Structures are given as C-alpha cells and as structure tokens.
Chain A
Amino acid sequence: MKVMPGYAQQGVAENDSALLSVTDKKRLLREMLYARRFEERCYEAYVERKIGGFLHLYSGEEACAHGVLEAARPGYDYVMTSYRDHIHAIKCGSDPRKVMAELFAKEGGTCKGRGGSMHIFDVEHRFMGGYALVGGPFPLAAGIAKGIKMKGGDEISICFLGDAANNQGTFHESLNMAKVWDLPVLYVCENNLYGIGTRIDRSTAVQDQYKRAAAYDIPATQVDGQDVEVVYAAAKQAIEHVRSGNGPYFLELMTYRYRGHSMSDSNAYRSKDEERSWLKRDPIHILRNRLIDSQDLTLSEFKDMDKAIIEEIENEVIAYAEQSPEPAVEDLEKYVLAENDPYVHGGAS
C-alpha cells in the first residue's frame, strides 16, 4: 500500500483481519464466490445468446464491492456505479434472480427488461443505478449526497467507478463541488489498470489515482483491492469520515479484471504473464487460504460451498430468468414520462 503524506490514512496493519469475525469472513467468502459464479454463468448465457447487448463482468474485482459495502450499510446507504454493476446491486440487497432476469431482458428483471446489464437499478435497496457513460455517476452521486444533507439523514452516497473515469471532466467538476459543499459522498476508484483496452500508463499522467483527489483537498487512500479484509478496513475508516460529516473521501482499490472490458474484447492488449500474475492474487483464494490456514475452513468445505452455489444459481437464478415473461410490446411507451401527472394539464389548483 502506498500512502501520501497529508492525505492518505495510516497503513492498514496486518492485525486488521481481526476486524471481521470468522463468521463474517466465511459469509464474505461465500458472497464473493457467489459473485464469481454468477458472473461466469452470465458469460455462458451470453455465449448461448440468452443475454444480449454489452456485458461487462466483475470477475477478479470481487473484493472491492464486497469489502467496501461490508463496511457500509447496504440497502440504507445510496450506491451507484458504472455498467459493471451486477455485483454491486446484489451486495446492496438485490435479488440475484431479478438481476439475472434483467440480463435475460425479462419483465421479472430489476428494470422489467428495459435496462439491461449496464443499467441495473434497484431503488428499494438504494442501488441507484448502473450508468453506461464513463464518469456519468460522479455528479449524480454528489447530488444524492446533497439531498441526504438537505434532508438531514445519516446515509452516505457511495460511487464506484473505474480508474479511466477519472479522465472525464465530471471527475474534476464533481470532486470540486463535493469538497466546496462538504457533501457526504465516498468515491471508490476500482483501479483495474485498463480503460477499455488502453493501459493506464498510456492514457493517464498520474497513475496513482488517489493522488488526484489531493487537487481538491479531499482525503484519499490507496489500498490492495484484492484482499477483502484490507478493503474492509480502509473502507471502514473512509466511511466513518464521510458519515461523521467531514465531507467527501476518495478510496483507490488496486484490482484487476479477468475478463475483457466487455464480451466483445479479446484481451489482446495485455500479456498472459500479466494475467497469470494477477490470478495468483485472486481475492477469493486469498480469503479462502487465510481461513484454511487459521483452520476455520477446510478445502472440502470450500468445494462443497462452491458446488452448492453453482447449483443454486442454476436451479433458482437461471430458472427464474428463463421462466420470467418478456415485456409486452404494448408497453413499449410505458415509463417514458410520468403517468397522469396533474401538472401537465395545469395542476389541481
């Protein structure tokens, strides 16, 4: 972990693993494994043409969403992200069956088949959306934070985006406003080193993204995004800062995606050696091995867990998505505008 004097927090000490109980760690391991199997099943469904459009998978980055949201209050805090959004929604409380049904373009999906993979929304669980314009959520998340502040709640707004989004103007405009107005927003940068197919050093002058927050006097930390316990510990401090009314915070998580940017990406821009070196730091394996080392888990227990997850996804998630009906064509124009809004015709006054 790198720290920056004046901005970065203290390093996350080794004994921070004590922050999470064994029960929590085992649950997190299961959640991350579930996320991996969910995404890999999406891959298959895409190949089978059950899922259309663009599909961006989160495999390899599981510790980011899980570590941060474990430290937050999922379903209470507001969360938004980019188009790589399935797992964030599920960790916020979305029913995985509805997420899969959305990918299958079904009426039973989170957005009734109108959104798709890049636009999962689940407002009931305060997952405020996946957005497909890189950098689009920066100001939206600041706006949610403005609303929280006006209403006097203690929720926070959490915005997950990739490193490449920081090269958009919205990054600078939003961090500036968030700081000027002291908004309760946590920006989480999932730095997976690539903006689509362009490596960060070829596109970005300052490669340590947390340093860029210093331009707006926003405290920032960079930590290992592959170790969920490290992410959790860093996020806990960051969230406490934001929830206590100290204004925005920027947390950079160093991570890697195993699949291409989207399914239409052959990964030709990076070496197999590089990919292998990151596979050695797999977030699920790191936690699994730690639990095995501490004798809280056996390998066969892990394998059983994996098997049960694969079956659950097949029997419940895929089955639900398959069986859900498609939206009715007669409803094509539904949801464009509000229905029966009285002010359209001059109000009720």
Chain B
Amino acid sequence: MSQMMYWEALRRAHDEELSHDPLVIVMGEDIGIAGGTYKATQGLYDKYGPERVIDTPISENGYTGLGIGASFVGVKPIIEIMSVNFAWLATDQIINTAAKVRYMSGGQLEAPVVIRSPGGTAHQLGAQHSARMEKVFMGIAGLRVVTPSNPRQAYGLLKSAVRCADPVFINEHELMYNMKGEVPDEEFFHPLEGSEVVRQGRDLTLFGYNISVHWCLQAAEVLSKEHGIEAEVVDLYALSPLDREGIKASVSRTHKAIIAEEAEAPVGVGAEVMAIFNEECFFELDAPPIRVSAANVPIPYNHKLEKAAIPSARDVIAAALSLFPGKH
C-alpha cells in the first residue's frame, strides 16, 4: 500500500494502461504537453508521444466521436473531458453512438471507450462550470457509469474501464483530485459493478457516491459520538448499473435509509435509489427514506448562495436525526 493523491492514482492507471497496450491512447484538452488540468496525464506526453497522448482542439463532440470511431477498429481511447459541463456537447456521440452501436449493429460493433470527466461544484465557478451530470448518463442503456470516491477506486476503476468492452463514463469531482488515500502497490482491477460498505452500523444506512460518501462518513462519526446512532455507509461507486442487491441487503440490515447526492433531486441518483427501495425492500423500511440533494437551481456564483445550494455532512446529520425523534 502507498499513500497517493487521487490525481496520482489516475496518472498511474493511465501510465500502466498506455504501457500495457500500444492501442491505448489518451485524448483531451491540454492533457498532453500541459499534463492535464488536474495532472492526471502529467509526464505521459513525453513518455508516449503525441500520437498516443493527444492534445485535442476544443471540440468536445468532435474529439469524443473521433475516439469512438477509433474504438471501432481496436483502439482503446481514454477521453478526458476537462469539465463535465463540456460533456453536454459530447452527449450526441456518447449517447447516440457509443451507447447504442453494439445494440443497433446486432452485436457486430462495440465502442470500448472510456470517458473521464470531473463534475461537481468546486469554488465559485458559476452555473456553467458547476454541473453534475451523472444522472443523465446513468439513464442511458449501453453505457456504464462509475464514480470513484477515493484514490484506490480512481486507479482500479480506470484500469477496468480501459479493459472493459463497453463504453464507460467515469464521473470524477473537481474537489477530489488532491485527496490522499491508500492504493495497493500491485496492479489491480476494481469491479465496475457493485457497491462497498465503507462503515458498518446497525441503526441506519447512509448511501453516497463520489464526494457524498465523505459527507456520509463525517456524518456517521458525529452521529455515533454525539447521538449514539451507528450508521452504515454504502459507497455506490457504480451508478449504472446500480447494485440493487447491495442496496437491498443494507436496508434489510438497518431498516432506515438516506441517500446523499450533490446533484439536484429531480430525476436523479437519489430518485433512482428511492425507486429501488420501493421495488426491492419497501417492507424492510421502518421509516420513509430521505434524499439529501442540492437545491434545484443553476449553481450561483456568490459563495454564500453556492454553499446554500449544495448539501453537506450537516444536512446528512439533520436528515438522520429526523429519523430518530427521541435522539435530538
């Protein structure tokens, strides 16, 4: 095990995959000579050259489509879209082509591309640089969506995504690239499906993914120390397909559930998880489950307003306490 930052874990995965297979390429804006906005490809241009570590023009739909086309003939592109807000422009090629080509060709063609992009609200970046888009992609058949919450997952999910024959969208977060964590020294491939119990507890389950896993963990500590409530925390690192069995198993242990997401509530991850509660384990619930979500607004520039729009560990704690009326 080594301690490394999230960006370093991504960089290691890129490096290993580029080294493993000469048909792996990396494409994106400023990922080559500049080493990537979040350093995920630092030094790789010098090591692998401009034909494989490709600085693209600012043409998101174009270069994403180009990567998808290359994947039709055996190339394994890792496409970095600098911000998920720009990925809206590439939804045509991601959704209309990558996700559907296997099906509409009757299984003849596949698009094994990886698309990595940071979503999430950082610090005062305004409405057009703060979007969360995972809920759009997780609703598309034919596309896998994963979202690493720590350096180990960032490394292992990218490794598996590159090797997997399906198109995989990796939802990262702008605030998480400098997060430190342990990553095994030996090569490993993280499953692209499933979920992970990251804290055990008998009283309720806090479901999170990506950054909201950390709110849930913080909230669980406070709930334990100050209120004697023991929360289980489940990391939904795979958003499509969601781990129905894992969700059901946890709710069946704790009988109370909260799903925390950084995005707005409508048609979101929380909405989908709530539907799974209903469909899989309604009678296991002792209380109505709760969504902790962002306000349904374009993210404001003003710092106070921005903070008010995005949930935090405090909101998770408040939601949890509302499920235990005697423990306020």
Contact = CB atoms under 8 A, between A and B. Distances in A.
A136 B98 CA distance: 11
Contacts of B66: 139-140, 142-143, 146, 174, 177
B110 A338 contact: yes
Contact of A177 (B57, B97, B188): B57
Interface in A333-349: 334-338, 341, 343-347, 349
Contact of B73 (A114, A144, A174): A144
A131 B102 CA distance: 13
Interface in B49-84: 51-52, 54, 56-57, 59, 61-75
Given A138-B65, A142-B69, A121 B105 contact: yes
Contacts of A78: 73
A59 B92 CA distance: 29
Interface in A112-140: 112-116, 119, 121-124, 128-129, 131, 133, 136, 138-140
Nearest to A118: B104
A111 interface: yes
Contacts of B51: 149-150
Contact of A173 (B59, B165, B189): B59
A161 B264 CA distance: 40
A335 B97 contact: no
Nearest to B163: A343
Nearest to A142: B66
B142 A177 contact: no
Contact of B57 (A122, A141, A176): A176
A17 interface: no
A260 B74 CA distance: 38
A140 B72 contact: yes
B178 interface: no
A344 B164 contact: yes
Nearest to B56: A177
Nearest to B241: A337
Contacts, number: 180
B73 A136 contact: no
Given A133-B92, A143-B70, A346-B191, A113 B75 contact: no
Interface string B155-186: 01001110111100000000000000000000
A39 to B, nearest CB: 21
A113 B106 CA distance: 7
Contact of A114 (B103, B159, B160, B166): B103
B166 A341 contact: yes
Contact of A338 (B22, B92, B166): B166
A338 B67 contact: no
Given A144-B69, A177-B63, A111 B106 contact: yes
Contacts of B97: 131, 133, 136, 140
A170 interface: yes
Nearest to B167: A337
Interface in B89-110: 92-93, 96-97, 101-110
Tell me which of B23, B63, B72, B159 has the highest count of chain A C-beta atoms within 10 A of its own C-beta. Answer: B72
B253 interface: no
A335 B107 contact: yes
Contacts of A142: 65-66, 69
Interface string B132-165: 0000000001101000000000001001110111
A169 B72 contact: no
A123 B108 contact: yes
B144 A349 contact: no
Contacts of B280: none
A319 interface: no
Contacts of A144: 69-70, 72-73
Contacts of B190: 346
B258 interface: no
B25 interface: yes
20 contacts: A114-B104, A121-B106, A123-B109, A128-B72, A131-B97, A142-B65, A143-B67, A143-B69, A144-B73, A145-B69, A146-B66, A147-B73, A147-B75, A151-B74, A173-B61, A174-B62, A336-B142, A338-B110, A345-B192, A347-B189
Interface of A: 78, 109-116, 119, 121-124, 128-129, 131, 133, 136, 138-151, 169-170, 173-174, 176-177, 180-181, 334-338, 341, 343-347, 349
Interface of B: 22-23, 25, 51-52, 54, 56-57, 59, 61-75, 92-93, 96-97, 101-110, 141-142, 144, 156, 159-161, 163-166, 187-193
